[in-house]
Amino acid sequence: MQIATWNVNSLGVRLPHVLAWLQANPVDALCLQETKLTDDKFPAAAFAELGYHSVFIGQKTYNGVAILSRSPAEDVIAGLPGFDDEQKRVLTATIDGVRLVCAYFPNGQALDSDKYPYKLAWCDAMLRHAGEQLAAHPRFALLGDYNIAPEDRDVHDPAAWEGQVLVSPPERERFRALLGLGLADAYRLFDQPERSFSWWDYRQLGFQKNRGLRIDHILMSPALRDSCTACTIDRAERKKPQPSDHAPVVATLA
């Protein structure tokens, strides 16, 4: 089984990329973030033609998440229970007996922005949700754009980023709290190239110079970790014409 996550930065623009990627990478489940489409505009038929079911919650312009899967999604939950939020950022569903959370963590914008305390409170609500889901479902994974680079090695230039959103100590504390539930960062289960990132700025030849951040993650429960045989970032996708600024992350389960 393969599970994957990809922030597509507008599914309206990136639909051809996603369809081509699925044909080349027929994963069992793909979590999408930043679809930026209201539900009436979600291209479910195009995915169905490739043999994928879809569940989705979207809004105009911002946010929006979806889970595409070869088997139908079961027991779907939209949003974070107990956390009132207009923003469409979370879907939870069971695919082939694996409980998946597809999450688009808030960006936070800046440490002095109102969006920063929202991000921290959102992370706290996610910690509760992940803990509850993990307790109920031993085969559990949390996939998505976390908007957190967990360690300095996940940042192209840690000195330049110090004090910025995405790397601040309170955000990294939230990431470590998720690990504290017993979840493993699938990418770090394996030897990986140095300077591995999942997002690169569109500006300043960010990708060509590999000036990026690793902010897209797959965290998995002990039961899944034990069967995980690989986790990779598909950098090649970022080289294509009109790419998303994020690359897909894929985990393989035996």
Residue list for the binding site: 7, 34, 145, 147, 245-246
Alpha-carbon gap, residue 140 to 135, rounded angstroms: 9
Alpha-carbon gap, residue 54 to 137, rounded angstroms: 21
Q: Supply the DSSP symbol for 198.
A: S
How many residues lie near DNA (CB under 7 A)? 27
Query: Smallest distance from the beta carbon of 241 to DNA, in angstroms?
Result: 9
Q: x/- string (CB under 7 A) for DNA, residues 193-232?
A: ------x-xxxx--------x-x-----------------
Residue 80 pairs in a beta bridge with none
Q: By CB under 7 A, tell whether 165 contacts DNA.
A: yes
Binding segment for DNA (CB under 7 A), chosen from 6-14, 44-52, 67-75, 94-102, is 6-14
Closest CB to DNA among residues 76, 110: 110
223 three-state secondary structure: helix
Q: By CB under 7 A, tell whether 247 contacts DNA.
A: no
Closest CB to DNA among residues 140, 175: 175
Residue 128: other Cβ atoms inside 10 A: 13
Q: By CB under 7 A, tell whether 16 contacts DNA.
A: no
* Positions marked catalytic: 104, 145, 246
Question: Of 237, 233, 212, which Cα lies nearest the Cα of 5?
Answer: 233
- Integer CA distances (angstroms), 224 to 74, 99, 183, 254, in order: 19, 10, 9, 9
When binding is defined by CB under 7 A, the residue of 15, 19, 70, 115 that contacts DNA is 115
37 three-state secondary structure: coil
When binding is defined by CB under 7 A, the residue of 36, 137, 217, 238 that contacts DNA is 36
DSSP string, 87-116: S--EEEEEETTEEEEEEE------TTSTHH
Alpha-carbon gap, residue 145 to 209, rounded angstroms: 22
Query: Smallest distance from the beta carbon of 51 to DNA, in angstroms?
Result: 25
Closest CB to DNA among residues 62, 190: 62
Structure tokens at 143: 């996939």
Annotated binding site for Mg(2+): 7, 34, 145, 147, 245-246
Write phi, then psi, for 180 (nearest 5 degrees): -65, -20
Closest CB to DNA among residues 37, 95: 37
Residues that bind DNA (CB under 7 A): 7, 9-10, 12-13, 34, 36, 60-62, 106-107, 109, 115, 145, 147, 165-166, 199, 201-204, 213, 215, 242, 245
